[in-house]
Amino acid sequence: MNPTSMRVALSHFGSGLTVITGMTEEGPVGFTCQSFSSLSLDPPLVTFSPSRSSTTWPRIRPLDTFAINVLADGQTALSVSFSRSGSDKFSGVEWRPSQHGAPLIGGALVTFDCRIWGEYDGGDHTIVAAEVVAIELDAETKRGPLLYYKSTYASLNLITENAAVPVSP
Ligand SMILES: Cc1cc2nc3c(=O)[nH]c(=O)nc-3n(C[C@H](O)[C@H](O)[C@H](O)COP(=O)(O)O)c2cc1C
């Protein structure tokens, strides 16, 4: 087992994408995060895993609250820019503060305001369990999720169309 074979194997697990954001004294910060998942309904918990090499997570961790923004189809550029360490990630990004002050990214399918519930050892990542304290949901949106599969951005429509193609014998 080596990191490359792990990375390639795990890329076959398709998922949505999030950007995790916080409001620091220097302004809004955030990072693209695929490792988001549901965890518990009561209490309301979600989980994600920041890399130990992330320079942004240590700036978000001390904040009272932070936000998890679930990206919509068409927000690939946001995913790419929020994955570039050291860049001015919020330049040109439309956002507003949540009721708890965390930056909510415009056009996100749903946002979760969160507090840290626990953080655990996860090898070269840590495992964060986060308590959801507020949700903003656009129930009327017709947009689907931005998906990530085999290191490629995809949309639900694309997958549905591909699935509809008959398999030749
Ligand atoms: C599709 C995609 C998924 C990612 N998922 C994660 C993740 O689950 N955890 C993580 O720590 N970094 C993840 N990253 C990498 C971070 O976005 C990137 O390392 C981080 O933004 C580095 O910047 P920072 O130093 O400002 O934290 C992902 C990047 C991409 C492009």
What is the domain partition of the chain in residue ranges? 3-156
pLDDT at 64: 97
Look at residue 158 and tell me whether its pLDDT is greater than 90.
no
Could you tell me what percent of the chain has a pLDDT over 90?
Answer: 87
Q: Are 119 and 126 in contact, with CB atoms under 8 Å apart?
A: yes
- The backbone region for 27, taken as left when phi is positive above 0, alpha when psi lies in -120 to 50, beta otherwise, is left
Look at residue 150 and tell me whether its pLDDT is greater than 80.
yes
Look at residue 166 and tell me whether its pLDDT is greater than 80.
no
Query: pLDDT, tens digit, for every residue of 65-124?
Result: 999 999 999 999 999 999 999 989 999 999 999 999 999 999 999 999 999 999 999 999
Cβ-count burial 134-144 (b if 16+ within 10 Å, e if not): eeeeeeeeebb
Q: Ligand 1 centre and the CA of 77: distance in Å?
A: 14
Q: Ligand 1 centre and the CA of 32: distance in Å?
A: 5
Does residue 35 line the site of ligand 1, with CB under 6 A? yes
| Architecture field, domain 3-156 | Roll (2.30)
Residue 65, token pair as written in the block: 């609250």
Nearest CA to ligand 1 atom 31: 83
Does residue 17 line the site of ligand 1, with CB under 6 A? yes
